[in-house]
Amino acid sequence: MAKRSVTLGISFKMYFGYAQTVDWCRQIADNLVHHPAVLDGRVSLFVLPSFPALPPVLDCFADTPIGVGGQNLYQSPNGAYTGEVSGAMLAEMGCRFVEIGHAERRRLFGEDDAIIAAKTQVALSHRLVPVLCIGEADRGDPADAVAECRGQIDSALALATAAQRQQPVVIAYEPHWAIGAAQPASLAHIAAVCRGLRQYLGAQSQASVIYGGSAGPDLLTRLAGQVDGLFLGRFAHDPAAFEAIVNEASELASN
């Protein structure tokens, strides 16, 4: 089996303003689009800005390997849904990714398994790569976490056709109990859960399993071989920090 690329993604959530988003992306475009590991696919990058910033961000990364996507989409193809954004529009704009099922969407906006399954199916129908956020609710044994996360993956893909199940998916694992907690998940826990999920998905699956909890410097190295990449947050708000992790990923992908 060919070696998987290292996948690094970042969601700005609602931290960045318009100008800050564009400035960050321009710096990354200037410094990373010619990075050898990015050009040859050893390191795969995606960026998820707020909706109003999508056009300039797409322009920043046009004709580059760096993917752009939305932080959300609506669960119906189109219609009278004021304030929502369709998968069709994201795809038409040139987006390649879309985030689905984050714990904040579940907690703050009441998204349940049925909504997440509908959103996943809409994303796949428009050839968008779902960044499917999963994680167990309570601290416990890794085996129990794998079982709960497997159920979330199965539920999210419940409406997908057989052909759609062959499309790429990014599984972003973050235990819900560790979000904002003083004590993050241990390396052993992260490695065991991500390894279990990769085994469940199978060697032929086009799904990548990345970790998204308190991801910072050296975490990728300490988890080398156990995860397919990282879903980055506030640490990578500094473009130099993001570039440092890309260089770290490049070294790992070259070994």
Positions annotated as catalytic residues are: 102, 174
The distance from CA 91 to its chain's CA centroid, rounded to whole angstroms, is 17
Beta-carbon contacts of 210 under 8 Å, excluding residues fewer than 6 positions away, are: 7, 8, 9, 170, 171, 172, 173, 227, 228, 229, 230, 231
Do the beta carbons of residue 126 and residue 91 sit within 8 Å? yes
Whole-number Å distance between alpha carbons of 199 and 172: 15
Do the beta carbons of residue 241 and residue 217 sit within 8 Å? yes
Whole-number Å distance between alpha carbons of 62 and 59: 5
